[in-house]
């Protein structure tokens, strides 16, 4: 049993407060560092953290219990093996890897080996959907894991990776570049171009380009910036949403690694436009291995006067960026939940209005934009709105970076214009024999063959970039079950329709799997799904039954009247 | 007599303000969107603009104010309920909200007339 020294813990927390600040917003980073030290969050550690931040211990317990990366009861192993359970990795043979991991370690998922070396867990989307099955070992990523590789990975862990044949960094597979990905800009070039204009002019350029949020919702970027710029406040914030948690999305992982400076330029341009002095880079917990690259990039920018005081010689323009890590909560991709998380609370979405552009981080005007949006904004400031408008449709300007995975010959990252039909896209990725395509991840729509002439654009089928191709042999009921399990796990629990409704939908799918669901009951479930869409307050809840509804509408005859396999 | 352009996407509000201003002796021209507002402004060359904020886009009023100030020295009275609707806290500001007076809806006709008289002097 671990003996805890209260005095030492108090001193550690005091030191961490010097790094992260002494208000509530420091709670998550402090807990993350303490878990790193102790292997889990013992009660005493949580109590002392609460005292140090002058909040009730129940508040700390509530936060620690919300995020899946925090452990409260049992010390985690020296190596935590997190196997991705998303549908793309499922299609690539995750179940066999899981079984072999259990065989080699002699434990089940959710358990820790007796020697304290290994903890085995499932996790949602690691952003490696085109190279699945994927597994994260602490902050080290493994792609295309097969059962025969499992013992070698475990041996490497036992040797503390002093010698390993597995690559340290798994490269992304960019299959097609367009005007965005093949830019030739140098760090700071976009920012300096923007600083030649007034704040209102910068927003005017973004407005003229018609740039809409690349996270999927498609809110006009210029409107968000204009409202935040016009709002009255001494403190304003720019937040980059790098919480790429949508199953099937992995393009941000590539952008963060290879276009870091363009994204940071975009954040700084936004800060200039709205009058912000501080930015946050909210990076998902699963991308911890990218943190050091981000910190290095920020340090170089400070040295080159692209961050800090009087940036690029512009008198009075001061701005800096802090990296904050998520802790394994999909809902934190929703902007108000993300802000709650930044403030040190459970990642529960807020009611809107008020909107973050006025009442964001600590009630101050805040803009939250996607990684790709900032990249696009930087390029637009240099190359102009007209250049951006050469591609796309009337209502969806420009190109979009897609993450394409599943049953196709060439999965990977593609930059394609908005307005492309699903059939054209499938031809591009060599997946023409698909029977269905999931557009927009788990919260998106499942489109069947009959609708492959529809376009991917904000005015038709919107997408944050996730495209999962399902081949002719895929069991669509299993797909629906995978997505519903995801939402049951990731619902924040605030709204009853989402919290309990999704559980009922999943139960219904399990009944269908057993071949014991009447059409009348199925229709009831579909009405319940519509209620969840209407009665949930955030985007996660409203979109959680999308896959359920679209799969059942399109594949009813495949799903009904099943005869279960004999055990 | 001075000419006032009223730009608001709510036709009832435009009519009500027009009646108040016409009774006070002003000439009135009307528009219901940012785009229409700019066209009417160019054609009618009003002496003052009464401008809403949230029209087709939530920031249309701010954008139009910036466009107007870039091409003419016309006084602008921003008249909006944006603060109450969205919870946003706005006020005039030289660069992003370049208006001369910022007033919240609803406004008493006497107060509206007083503000307009002051701006036109």
Element (H, E) at A230: helix A221-230
Query: Does the CB of A485 have a partner CB in chain B at under 8 Å?
Result: no
- Residue A122's Cβ-side half-sphere holds a number of Cα atoms within 13 Å equal to 17
Q: Does residue A232 sit at the B interface (CB-CB below 8 Å)?
A: yes
CB-based contact, A270 to chain B, within 8 Å: no
> Residue A1 above 80 pLDDT?
no
- What is residue A567's predicted lDDT score, i.e. its pLDDT? 52
| Contacts A–B by Cβ distance under 8 A | 53
Q: Is the CB of A354 less than 8 angstroms away from the CB of B62?
A: no
Partners of B85 on chain A (C-beta within 8 Å) are 353
> How does pLDDT run across A233-251, given as a tens digit for each residue?
889 999 999 999 889 999 9
CB within 8 Å: A358 and B57 = no
* A221 contacts chain B (CB < 8 A): no
Contact A414, A402 (CB under 8 A): yes
What is the structure's pLDDT at B81?
83
Residue of B nearest to A274 (CA): B96
* Nearest-by-CA chain A residue for B66: A200
Q: What is the mean pLDDT of chain A?
A: 93
> Would you call A231 an interface residue with chain B, using a CB distance cutoff of 8 Å?
yes
CA distance between the termini of chain B: 13
In sequence order, which ranges of B1-121 are alpha helices (DSSP H)?
11-23, 34-44, 60-71, 82-86, 109-120
Please report the domains of chain A, with CATH numbers, ordered by start residue. Answer: 6-66 (1.10.10), 79-158 (3.40.30.10), 175-388 (3.40.50.11540), 399-470 (3.10.20.600), 476-559 (1.20.1440.230)
Residue A410: which residues within 8 A CB-CB, separation 6 or more? A175, A404, A428, A429, A430
For A384-408, letters b (16+ CB in 10 Å) and e give: ebeebbebbbeebbbbbbbbbbbbb
B93–A355 CB contact, under 8 Å = no
Residue of chain A with shortest Cα separation from B92? A230
Tell me which chain A residues have a C-beta less than 8 angstroms from the C-beta of B59: 222-223, 226-227, 230
Q: What is the pLDDT of residue B85?
A: 66
Q: Which of A223, A229, A232 sits opposite B57 (nearest CB)?
A: A223
Looking at residue B25, which CATH number applies to its domain? Answer: 3.40.50.2300
Query: pLDDT per residue over A522-542, tens digit each?
Result: 999 999 999 999 999 998 999
Residue B89 with chain A: CB contacts under 8 Å: 231-233, 358
- Touching check for A354 and chain B: CB below 8 Å? yes
CB contact under 8 A, B95 and A198: yes
From residue A145, alpha-carbon distances to A49, A89, A303, A482 in Å are: 39, 10, 40, 20
At residue A2, does pLDDT exceed 70? no
Task: Please tell me which of the candidates A226, A354, A358 has its beta carbon nearest to residue B59.
Answer: A226
pLDDT at B86 exceeding the cut of 80: no
Rounded to whole angstroms, how far apart are CA atoms B75 and B50?
9
First vs last Cα of chain A: how many Å apart? 42
**C-alpha–C-alpha distance, residues A511 and A507, integer Å:** 6
Question: Half-sphere exposure of B103 toward its Cβ, with a 13 Å CA cutoff?
Answer: 18
> Under an 8 A CB cutoff, do A358 and B86 touch?
yes
Contacts of A226 in chain B (CB under 8 A): 59, 62-63, 96
ipTM exceeding cut-off 0.95 for this assembly: no
> What is the residue range of B48's domain?
3-120
- Report the alpha-carbon distance of residue A401 to residue A404 in Å, rounded: 10
- Residue in chain B closest to A219 (alpha carbons) equals B57
Question: Distance from A229 to chain B by nearest Cα, in Å?
Answer: 6
Interface subset of A 273-332, CB within 8 angstroms of B: none
**Predicted local distance difference test score (pLDDT) of residue A566:** 63
**Contact call for B88 and A227, based on CB within 8 A:** yes
Sign of the torsion angle spanned by Cα atoms A196, A201, A206, A208: negative
Q: Closest by alpha carbon to A522, among A486, A561, A495?
A: A561
Among A199, A227, A233, whose Cβ lies nearest the Cβ of B58?
A227
Q: Hey, which residues 245-264 in chain A have their CB within 8 Å of chain B?
A: none
A353 vs B86: CB contact, 8 Å cut-off? yes
Residue B81: is it exposed, middle or buried by C-beta count within 10 angstroms (0-12/13-18/19+)? middle
State mean pLDDT over A138-143. Answer: 89
Report the 3 state secondary structure along A30-65. HHHHHHHHHCCCCHHHHHHHHHHHCCCHHHHHHHHH
| pLDDT exceeds cutoff 90 at A461 | yes
Position B84 pLDDT exceeds 80: no
Residues of B in contact with A231 (CB under 8 A): 88-90
B13-23 per-position pLDDT tens digit: 999 999 999 99
**Measured between CA atoms, how close is A418 to chain B, in angstroms?**
22
Residue B82 clears pLDDT 90, i.e. is over it: no
Instruction: Answer yes or no: do B93 and A199 touch at CB < 8 A.
Output: no
Q: Looking at the 3D structure of chain B, how many domains does it have? A: 1
Percent of chain A with pLDDT over 90: 83
The whole-angstrom distance between B118's CA and the closest CA on chain A is 25
Distance CA A90, CA A74 (A): 28
- CB atoms B93 and A230 under 8 Å: yes
Torsions phi, psi for A246 (to 5 deg):
-65, 125
Residues A320-368: tens digit of each pLDDT: 999 999 998 999 999 999 999 999 999 999 998 888 887 899 999 999 9
**What integer is the mean pLDDT of A398-403?**
96
Residues 6+ apart with CB under 8 A from B104: B79, B80, B81, B83, B84
pLDDT the model gives residue B88? 67
Condensed to tens digits (0 to 9), the pLDDT of residues A274-326 reads: 999 999 999 999 899 899 999 999 999 999 999 999 999 999 999 999 999 99
List, in order, residues 6 or more apart from A153 with CB less than 8 Å away: A81, A135, A137, A142, A145, A166
- A50's tokens: 């609460």
Residue A136 has pLDDT above 70, yes or no: yes
Beta strand pairing call for A399-406 and A412-417: antiparallel
Chain B residues within an 8 Å CB radius of A353:
85-88
Instruction: Check A200 against B95: CB less than 8 A apart.
Output: yes
pLDDT tens, residue by residue, A187-211: 999 999 999 999 999 999 999 999 9
Q: Does A211 touch chain B (CB under 8 A)?
A: no
The Cα of B92 is separated from the nearest Cα of chain A by a number of Å equal to 8
Closest CA to B41 of B9, B5, B12, B86: B5
Give residue B63's pLDDT: 94
Tell me what pLDDT residue B90 has: 77
Enumerate the residues of chain A whose CB falls inside 8 A of the CB of residue B88.
227, 231, 353-355, 357-358
- Under an 8 A CB cutoff, do B66 and A231 touch? no
pLDDT digits (tens, 9 = 90+) for A73-121: 888 899 999 999 988 899 889 999 999 999 999 999 999 999 999 999 9
Distance CA A276, CA A235 (A): 7
């Amino acid at each position: 049993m671990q003996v805890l020294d209260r005095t030492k813990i108090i001193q550690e927390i005091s030191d961490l407060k010097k790094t992260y600040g002494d208000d509530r917003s420091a709670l998550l980073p402090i807990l993350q560092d303490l878990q790193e030290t102790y292997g889990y969050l013992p009660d005493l550690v949580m109590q002392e953290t609460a005292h140090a931040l002058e909040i009730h211990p129940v508040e700390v317990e509530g936060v620690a219990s919300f995020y899946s990366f925090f452990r409260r009861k049992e010390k985690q192993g020296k190596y935590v093996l997190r196997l991705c359970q998303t549908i793309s990795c499922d299609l690539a043979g995750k179940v066999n890897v899981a079984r072999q991991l259990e065989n080699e370690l002699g434990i089940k998922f959710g358990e820790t080996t007796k020697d304290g070396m290994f903890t085995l867990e499932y996790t949602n989307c690691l952003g490696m959907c085109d190279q699945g099955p994927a597994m994260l070992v602490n902050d080290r990523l493994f792609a295309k894991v097969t059962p025969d590789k499992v013992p070698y990975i475990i041996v490497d862990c036992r040797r503390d990776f002093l010698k390993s044949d597995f690559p340290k960094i798994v490269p992304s597979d960019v299959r097609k570049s367009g005007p965005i990905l093949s830019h030739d800009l140098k760090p700071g070039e976009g920012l300096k171009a923007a600083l030649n204009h007034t704040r209102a002019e910068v927003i005017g350029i973004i407005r003229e380009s018609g740039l809409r949020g690349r996270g999927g919702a498609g809110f006009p970027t210029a409107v968000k910036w204009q409202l935040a710029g016009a709002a009255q406040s001494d403190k304003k914030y720019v937040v980059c949403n790098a919480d790429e948690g949508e199953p099937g999305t992995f393009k941000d992982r590539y952008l963060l690694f290879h276009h870091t400076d363009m994204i940071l330029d975009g954040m700084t341009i936004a800060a200039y436009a709205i009058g912000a002095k501080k930015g946050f880079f909210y990076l998902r917990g699963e991308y911890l291995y990218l943190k050091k690259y981000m910190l290095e990039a920020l340090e170089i920018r400070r040295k080159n006067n692209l961050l800090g005081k009087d940036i690029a010689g512009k008198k009075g323009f001061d701005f800096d960026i802090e990296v904050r890590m998520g802790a394994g909560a999909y809902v934190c991709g929703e902007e108000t939940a993300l802000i709650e998380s930044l403030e040190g609370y459970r990642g529960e979405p807020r009611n809107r209005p008020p909107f973050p552009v006025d009442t964001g981080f600590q009630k101050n005007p805040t803009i939250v934009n996607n990684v790709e949006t900032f990249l696009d904004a930087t390029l637009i400031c240099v190359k102009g709105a007209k250049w951006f408008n050469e591609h796309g449709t009337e209502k969806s300007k420009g190109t979009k970076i897609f993450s394409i995975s599943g049953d196709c010959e060439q999965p990977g990252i593609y930059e394609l214009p908005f307005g492309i039909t699903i059939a054209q896209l499938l031809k591009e990725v060599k997946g023409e024999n698909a029977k269905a395509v999931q557009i927009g991840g788990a919260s998106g729509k499942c489109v069947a063959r009959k609708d492959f002439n529809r376009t991917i654009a904000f005015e038709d089928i919107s997408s944050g970039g996730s495209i999962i191709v399902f081949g002719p042999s895929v069991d669509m009921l299993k797909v629906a079950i995978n997505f519903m399990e995801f939402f049951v796990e990731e619902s924040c629990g605030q709204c009853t329709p989402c919290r309990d409704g999704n559980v009922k939908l999943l139960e219904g799918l399990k009944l269908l799997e057993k071949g014991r669901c009447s059409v009348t009951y199925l229709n009831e479930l579909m009405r319940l799904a519509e209620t969840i869409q209407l009665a949930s307050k955030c985007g996660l809840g409203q979109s959680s039954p999308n896959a359920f509804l679209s799969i059942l509408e399109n594949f009813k005859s495949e799903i009904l009247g099943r005869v279960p396999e004999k055990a | 007599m001075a000419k006032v352009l009223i730009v608001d996407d709510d036709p009832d509000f435009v009519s009500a303000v027009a009646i108040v201003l016409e009774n006070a002796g002003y000439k009135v021209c009307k528009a219901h969107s940012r785009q229409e507002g700019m066209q009417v402004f160019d054609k009618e060359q009003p002496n003052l603009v009464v401008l809403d904020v949230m029209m087709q886009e939530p920031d249309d009023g701010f954008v139009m104010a910036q466009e107007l100030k870039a091409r003419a020295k016309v006084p602008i009275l921003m008249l909006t309920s944006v603060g109450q609707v969205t919870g946003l806290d706005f006020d005039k500001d030289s660069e992003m909200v370049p208006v001369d007076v910022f007033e919240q809806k609803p406004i008493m006709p006497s107060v509206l007339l007083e503000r307009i008289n002051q701006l036109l002097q």
